[in-house]
């Protein structure tokens, strides 16, 4: 990979920090993270750390991004089909006059579930007014350039009072052909969908984290959730005509559900299935000990051979056109 456009187009919004891509992909994320609470977000977008990152990429220097997933995929046995480096365009300069076109929000941990893989306890953030102000400031500041927003990678947008208010009061007329992705566990979509009627046409993608396809494994994995509610939500979303992505984080408790998960995704008109390996998430319940106990990327795991056999026995399903299984195959385990 000789060029990346993210530093010129993308802004990830966290509670008190900003970055241009997933922190895990950077060589040292502290070098490219803007810490602090800013009112003037142009000072963030043109911060000297972002300028250095952009200058590096304009000189085809990827030293800031040695952990990026794309080179790993390109050099693996399952390269990204048809991917080419994006061109360098005239607006791409170290100091940007154009705002970001892609905003990835992860600024609220509030969720109606408390899955052990991403949190140690149920979380309902109390700072809802602050979350609302920060989100609105981002949207207002960059409304001329924003083409896509993702809400939200850290919690559930419909469980968050701040984010629910943002979505229900969204002034869509301020934006030019804005696409909205709801990143959600899906359970609250049947309840709140009608209240979002003014942005129905702009919600082009629903990314639903499910992690299981059977009742016992779902309720063990998605703590606080009921299988029947998930099933109802999946059927509801499947009829909306949206780009419908289903996510499954694979670990020792749920890998046996992979075939059924894919079959249900096909049955419910999913447009993509993302299968990924468990990551050592900072807020995981039980910390590193739980990660080591559950991670099937460990070749010494007692269920590792059973996991590999399941993959081999279900190659047809894993090779289905909607399935991205690149990161659960052994050669992809280095790719988080």
CA separation for the pair 95, 250 (Å, rounded): 41
Cα dihedral across residues 296, 297, 302, 308: positive or negative:
positive
User: What pLDDT, on a 0 to 100 scale, did the predictor assign at position 83?
Assistant: 54
Higher pLDDT, 78 or 289: 289
Contacts of 191 (CB under 8 A, 6+ apart): 158
Whole-model pTM? Answer: 0.92
pLDDT beyond 80 at 18 = yes
Low-confidence winner among 105-119, 151-165, 256-270 (lowest mean pLDDT):
105-119
> Which run of H or E residues covers position 236?
helix 227-238
Residue 276, both tokens: 């990924």
Which among 103, 187, 84 has a CA at the least distance from the CA of 141? 103
- What pLDDT, on a 0 to 100 scale, did the predictor assign at position 240? 97
Share of the chain above pLDDT 70, in %: 93
Q: Which pLDDT tens digit goes with each residue over 299-333?
A: 999 999 999 999 999 999 999 999 999 889 887 66
The DSSP call for residue 197 is G
Write down the mean pLDDT value for the chain.
Answer: 92
DSSP tally for the chain: helices H, then strands E: 13, 10
Q: How sure is the predictor about 296, in pLDDT bands with cuts at 50, 70 and 90?
A: very high
Place 185 in a pLDDT band, splitting at 50, 70 and 90. Answer: very high
pLDDT at 335 over 80: no
Query: Which of the four pLDDT bands, split at 50, 70 and 90, describes residue 334?
Result: low
* Per-residue DSSP letter, 318: H
Instruction: Yes or no: say if 246 and 274 are a contact pair by the CB < 8 Å rule.
Output: yes
């Amino acid at each position: 990979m000789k060029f990346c456009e993210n530093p010129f187009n993308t802004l990830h919004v966290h509670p008190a920090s900003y970055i241009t891509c997933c922190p895990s992909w950077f060589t040292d994320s502290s070098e490219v993270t803007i810490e602090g609470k800013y009112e003037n977000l142009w000072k963030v977008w043109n911060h000297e750390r972002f300028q250095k990152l952009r200058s590096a990429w304009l000189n085809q220097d990827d030293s800031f991004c040695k952990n990026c997933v794309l080179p790993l995929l390109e050099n693996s046995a399952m390269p990204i089909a048809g991917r080419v480096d994006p061109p360098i365009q005239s607006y791409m300069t170290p100091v940007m006059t154009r705002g970001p076109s892609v905003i990835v929000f992860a600024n609220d941990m509030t969720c109606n579930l408390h899955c052990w893989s991403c949190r140690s306890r149920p979380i309902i953030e109390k700072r809802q007014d602050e979350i609302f102000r920060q989100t609105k400031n981002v949207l207002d500041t960059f409304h001329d350039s924003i083409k896509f927003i993702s809400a939200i990678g850290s919690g559930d947008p419909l469980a968050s009072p701040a984010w629910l208010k943002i979505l229900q009061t969204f002034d869509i007329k301020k934006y030019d052909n804005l696409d909205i992705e709801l990143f959600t566990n899906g359970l609250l979509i049947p309840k709140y969908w009608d209240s979002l009627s003014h942005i129905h046409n702009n919600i082009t993608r629903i990314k639903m984290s499910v992690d299981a396809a059977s009742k016992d494994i779902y309720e063990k994995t998605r703590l606080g959730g009921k299988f029947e509610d998930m099933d109802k939500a999946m059927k509801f979303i499947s009829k909306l005509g949206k780009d419908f992505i289903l996510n499954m984080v694979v670990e020792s408790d749920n890998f046996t559900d992979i075939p059924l998960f894919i079959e249900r995704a096909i049955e419910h008109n999913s447009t993509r299935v993302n299968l990924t390996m468990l990551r050592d998430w900072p807020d995981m319940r039980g910390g590193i000990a739980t990660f080591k106990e559950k991670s099937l990327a460990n070749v010494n795991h007692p269920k590792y051979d059973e996991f590999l056999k399941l993959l081999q026995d279900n190659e047809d399903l894993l090779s289905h056109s909607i399935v991205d299984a690149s990161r659960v195959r052994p050669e992809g385990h280095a790719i988080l």
